[in-house]
Structures are given as structure tokens and as C-alpha cells.
Chain A
Amino acid sequence: MTDALLSVRNLRVEFPTRRGVLTAIDDVSFDIMPGEVLGVVGESGAGKSLTGAAIIGLLEPPGRIAGGEILLKGERIDNLGVEPMRRIRGKRIGMVFQDPLTSLNPLYTVAQQLIETIRTHADISEGEARKKAIALLDRVGIPAAARRIDDYPHHFSGGMRQRVVIALALCAEPELVIADEPTTALDVSVQSQIIDLIKEICAERGAAVMLITHDMGVIAETADRVAVLYAGRIAEIGPVRQVITAPEHPYTAGLMGSIPTLTQTDARLVQIPGAMPRLNAIPQGCAFNPRCEKAFDRCFKERPTPVVRNADGRKVACWLYDAIDTAAKEQANG
């Protein structure tokens, strides 16, 4: 897939510690097409946010990219110097963070922050930048934008601040927006508004979105494709309809089973037994094997590689779907 907007190839992120190197992201590969919304789901600590941070080049030391490559329109961006990477941030890849209450600098007005960002990436006058900023605030749904623009962040409510954050992330017209749990810190009532806004405004501008969340519902409504992360590895990736209606990886199936539905009559929700392993105790073979009821010999010995399941680009990293292992699978089931 050479026409991908963003290609992540065998990405590996490590944290050197006194007690050895921890591998937080291991052999993660995926593509994001222009204008596409890719959902990234997983539990806390699965490596979702780290993947986003690695792409935009803001891994916090001592974390580092230890292997693989990240390509933006075919150009490698994971090994760029400080200055070229800075010019990509904001301009070509925008980012929306989780908590709108802390994402804005409390000592500057919204206008100052927007104009500064716009003028960092475009050579235009202060007046033009201001006009652009007002139009953008208006677009993200801030009422009376021309007046509110000179307010400080603390004058806005949480939902409004997240709209300002979105305006800031989009003000230099990036081709890709990484939204890292953009609604987690918000009231339920405004969550869907913000998700809709991100989706609409990115579609309008042709920007692709990498939507990081642990909310399967949000993914189901918003994403075109979804990548399920488990312990820093991709368990399953594919078109969102297919993954949600017919999950193949036992972990995805477990995740879907744990979501309550309106028609459900059982008293209890299904839950996946156990917890995700800590980074220093990832089991040999498949990382999910201690919690997987379908695990068999091979799962404890060899690490599964993603298997291509169909022409839509669906891949599953599970030995249950490995062609040569059909016999073993049947044995396990029987």
C-alpha cells in the first residue's frame, strides 16, 4: 500500500530502565489512508498513546523508538532531526490530547495561542491570522467567536475548551490528526458532540484521523477501520464493521462480549479473566495466552504474526487462524 498517508512499519518502542529494557510497543504495523478514520483501542497501558506519541515524535525520554519506521506520504519521519520534525508537528500531523482543562496554557488568551500557532506554520500577518482563528473557532462551534477569542481558557467550559483544543490542532491544516482519548475527560453529554465535530471537521478538510480510545462504542460510530492493541502488539486490525460484528481474535471477542447491549437479558456481563501483563512480565509466545480460553501449545511457544484474513486488509495475530495449524486447532477445540 504505497498510497497510504501514514505507514507504521514494525514499530518498536523501548524504555531502558535500571532493571532491563522494557518493550512497550513491539512490532506494530498499520497504515492510515488519506481521509480515513482509524480507531485504536486497547486497555490502559496497551500502548495506544505511546504509538501516537511515537508518530508525532514526542516520546518522553527515556522512551525511544528502537526499531521499525514511520512514513508520512512515503517519507520517513521517525529519524528526522529536531527542526524538520518540529515543522511536521502541527503543520502536517496535529494532535488533540485527553484533558482539555490542562491542554491550554492558562496565562494566554485563546487568540494568543491560536495566532501564535498559525503564524508558526504560515507566513501571514497577525490580522490575517486573527481572522483565520475567528473563522476556525466559529467552525468548531464557539458561539460569538469574535468576542470570545480574547478570553482566557478558564473562561470556557470543558466541552468548549476541547473545541478550542481541536481548533488549535487543526489551525495549520494538518493531513493527519491524532486524537488521544479526546472525550475521556468530558461529560457524557458532550462526548458525542466532540467526536462528531472531530469527524466532520476532518472530513471537511480531508484530514485523516487516528482516534485513540478505550471506548468501543465511539469506535463503532466513528472509525472506518480499527486496530486492537494488546500489551504493545496489534491483536487484530480491519474494517470496523467486520471486527465488531465478527471478532476473530479471542481478545477482541472478549472485549466485544463485555459491552452491554440493549437486547441482552443475562444478568452479568462477560469479562475477560485476569489482567493485561505488565511490561516486564509479558509471557512467552502470544501475550494473551494466560487469559485465552482457546490457547493451545503453540500459543505458549511462538509469538503469532499477523495473518491476512481477507482482501479488505483484515489481519489477526492468532495461531487459531494460521493455515498450517488447522490440525492443532481442531485438536484443541475437540
Chain B
Amino acid sequence: MLAYIIRRILQSVLVMLVVALVSFALFRFVGDPINSMVGQETSIADRDALRDQLGLNDPFLSQFATFVTRAAQGDFGISYRLQQPVMELILSRLPATLELALVSGVLAFVFGVGFGVYTALRRNGWASNTIMTVSLIGVSLPTFLIGVLLIWVFAVELQWLPSFGRGETVEIGGWTTGFLTPTGRASLILPAITLGLYQMTLIMRLVRAEMLEVLRTDYIKFARARGLSNRAVNFGHALKNTMVPVITITGLQLGSIIAFAIITETVFQWPGVGALFINSVRFVDVPVMAAYLMMIALVFVIINLIVDLLYYAVDPRLRVDRAATRH
């Protein structure tokens, strides 16, 4: 188990190094950051001086080594556009994105599993058929369109919920949260639904397919033949077996929720890292883009690691070393 964890962590470090290389390559090959930092009147001598000062003339490997060392310490340099440390910028925006991702992830998981189980158990009921049909919309409509539609219905026509921003936020130890104010909570609803809808339908269809598969197995038949209650069979025996693949997909989806919050954040003017990234792209603010890339990679790597460890918790067959010691 410990050896397994160490191996997985080493693999993760390798992945991060590769991503760092890609991020770093951005510095070298995407435009000339000097152009976007200085005005048109700046002389070539001044530009060269600035280039030296930023270390842009050093050899490739030494620049990369500096980049990785600094990145490991959380130092991604200074934003070309805002002249602020990149890490500070990202950290100030991160709570907004994480709260949004958390809420939509939880929504997607709870409703995805709930609807999935329901439609699997009542395969031919009218409610199941309705849910399945509606879920097609969730799978096929692009996120920005869902966002715009929700804004139109709930913010413009019904005027129940705000159409943009985070509402009022409260700061607790450097973390700004929207959970504690009524406007903060109201502002979360539409973006969270927009971001989570696709994931929810995906999880729902996955749970349904897996559940139908599991319900056909011999051990479910045998559990019924032993007179166990429907609840025990469906939720104790069937659902737990359904969860192994669902955990994988949900974990990976949580990563993409954070990564693809960009679109939702843009539609709802959500002050998160996604919106920061979009603005940085516009101004070729390479340090921010590189840091964002690294951050998303880190999120994916960590989530993958957690998913692998969750397998151990759910599926005893994977605890091979434990079994070996017992025999």
C-alpha cells in the first residue's frame, strides 16, 4: 500500500514536470511579452535591458530550472499585465472558482447518482423516460447556451436570481466566501447549475448503465433469493458495486469542472481563475497562463491520486498485499 502510494506520487511528479515544460515553452514561443509590457515608443535598448532584467536571454535549461524551482515554491513571477505576483492573483481568485466547482460537483454527483439509480430501478416508468429524455438535452446543449438560457429565464424574465457576479462575499482568513450571505448564495445557483448540468447527466447515464449491469449479476439474484429486502439489495448490494466506475468518472469530471469553469465564469462574469485566464490570454500575460496551466494539471493529478486511493476503500479485491499476508 505504502509502496503503491509512493509510486503513484512519483508518477504524479513526473506528470507535473512535463506540464511545467509545456508551460515554460509558452514563455519562449508564445509572442513576445516585452511588446505587451511596454509602449510603442520604448527604444530597442530599453527593451533589451528589460529582457535581461526578466532573465529572457539566459540559456533554455537554466531558465527552465529557475522556472521549476520557483514554481515549486509557488512563485510564478509577476503578471505582465497587472504587475502583481501571479500567485497572489490566482489565490485571490481561487476561492470563487473552488466554491463554484464544489457546489456544481456536489449537485452533479447527488442528482446524477439519484436520478441514475431511480431510472435504473424504474426502467419503464414515465418519470424515468422523462428524465432520460431531458438528460439528452443536458448532454447535447453547449454550456454557454445553457447559461444564457438560464439567465434569460430566471434572471431576466422571472427576476428571481442575479445574472452575474458573486454577490456579497465575506472574507475569512484570506478566503472569500459567498456561502455566508444571501446574495452570495443566490448568485451561486445559476452558474452552479450551468457548470454541473452536463456532468450530472453524464454521471446519471453512467450510474444507470452500471446499475442495470449489476442488477443482472448472479450475486444480486442470490441476494434476492435469500429474501433480503429490496432496499438492502438495491442500495446495499447493487449501488456499492455500481460506485467503483462512477467514482473514477466523477473524480475526473471534478477536474474538468474546475478546468472548464472558464466558459461558465465568462458567461456569468464570475470573478474566478477562469475569467482571470481568459483576460490573460487576451493580453498574452504568459506568467498567469503558465501558472493556470500548472494549477489545473495539479488539480487533475491530485484528484487522480485520490480516486486511486478511493478504489482501495471501495473494492477489497485491490487490497492485494493485505490478502497476501493473510494466507
Smallest beta-carbon distance A212→chain B, Å: 13
- One digit per residue, 1 when the CB lies within 8 angstroms of any chain B CB and 0 when it does not, for chain A 84-107 equals 001111110011011100111111
Q: Which of B222, B224, B314, B326 contacts A151 (CB 8 A)?
A: B326
Name which residue of chain A comes closest to B241, CB basis.
A107
Q: A172 contacts the other chain (Cβ, under 8 Å)? A: yes
Nearest CB of A to B158, in Å? 43
- In the bound complex, do residue A154 and residue B226 qualify as a contact, i.e. CB atoms below 8 Å apart? no
B125 located at the interface, meaning its Cβ lies under 8 Å from any Cβ of chain A in the complex: no
Please indicate the chain B residues that have their CB under 8 angstroms from the CB of A86 in the complex.
227-230
- Give how many A-B residue pairs fall within 8 Å (CB-CB): 86
Q: Identify which of B184-192, B251-259, B297-305, B315-323 touches chain A.
A: B315-323
Interface string of A52-64 (1 = CB under 8 A from B): 0000101000000
Question: A107 to B240, Cβ gap below 8 A?
Answer: yes
**Residues on the A chain within 8 Å of B228, using CB:** 86, 90, 116-117, 120
Q: How large is the interface on A (under 10, 10 to 19, 20 to 34, 35 or more residues)?
A: 35 or more
CB within 8 Å of A: which B254-289 residues: none
Report A207 CB to chain B, min CB distance, Å: 15
Residue pair A103, B218 in contact (C-beta under 8 Å): yes
Bound Cα distance A117, B317 (Å): 22
Distance (Å) between the CB of A297 and the closest chain B CB?
Answer: 45
CB closest chain-A residue, reference B236: A116
Q: Report the Cα distance A171→B227, complex, angstroms.
A: 11
The answer, among B217, B225, B230, B240, for a CB contact under 8 Å with A58, is: B225
Residues in A with CB closer than 8 Å to B229 are 86, 120
Contact B227 A104 (CB under 8 A): no
Residue of B nearest to A148 (CB): B326
In Å, the complex CA distance between A104 and B227 comes to: 15
Chain B residues engaging chain A, CB cutoff 8 angstroms:
217-219, 221-230, 232, 236-237, 240-241, 314-317, 323, 326-327
Can you give 18 contacting A-B residue pairs, CB < 8 Å? A58-B221, A58-B225, A86-B227, A90-B227, A91-B227, A95-B226, A97-B222, A103-B222, A105-B241, A106-B315, A106-B316, A107-B240, A107-B316, A108-B237, A109-B316, A117-B226, A120-B228, A155-B326
Q: A89-B227, A108-B237 are in contact. List 14 more A-B contacts (CB 8 A).
A: A82-B230, A95-B226, A98-B218, A102-B217, A102-B218, A104-B222, A105-B219, A106-B241, A106-B315, A106-B317, A107-B241, A107-B316, A117-B227, A152-B316
